[in-house]
A and B are shown apart, each in its own frame.
Chain A
Amino acid sequence: LAKTTQPISMDSYEGQEVNITCSHNNIATNDYITWYQQFPSQGPRFIIQGYKTKVTNEVASLFIPADRKSSTLSLPRVSLSDTAVYYCLVGEGYGQNFVFGPGTRLSVLP
Chain B
Amino acid sequence: AAGVIQSPRHLIKEKRETATLKCYPIPRHDTVYWYQQGPGQDPQFLISFYEKMQSDKGSIPDRFSAQQFSDYHSELNMSSLELGDSALYFCASSLVTRGGAGTTEAFFGQGTRLTVV
Contact = CB atoms under 8 A, between A and B. Distances in A.
Interface of A: 32, 34, 38, 41-46, 49, 51, 87, 93-103
B86 interface: no
Contact of A100 (B43, B102, B111): B43
Contacts of B106: 44, 46, 98
Interface residues of B, number: 32
Contacts of B72: none
A91 B45 CA distance: 14
A93 B55 CA distance: 15
B7 interface: no
Contacts of A45: 108
Given A41-B88, A43-B111, A97 B101 contact: no
B65 interface: no
A97 B50 CA distance: 11
B107 interface: yes
B58 A97 contact: yes
Given A43-B92, A93-B102, A93-B103, A99 B45 contact: yes
Nearest to B96: A94
B105 A87 contact: no
A99 B56 CA distance: 12
Given A42-B111, A97-B58, A103-B42, 14 more contacts: A41-B88, A41-B113, A44-B108, A45-B108, A46-B106, A49-B105, A93-B102, A93-B103, A94-B96, A94-B102, A95-B55, A95-B98, A97-B56, A100-B42
Contact of A93 (B4, B97, B110): B97
A45 B1 CA distance: 15
A96 B35 CA distance: 14
Contacts of B24: none
A34 B107 CA distance: 13
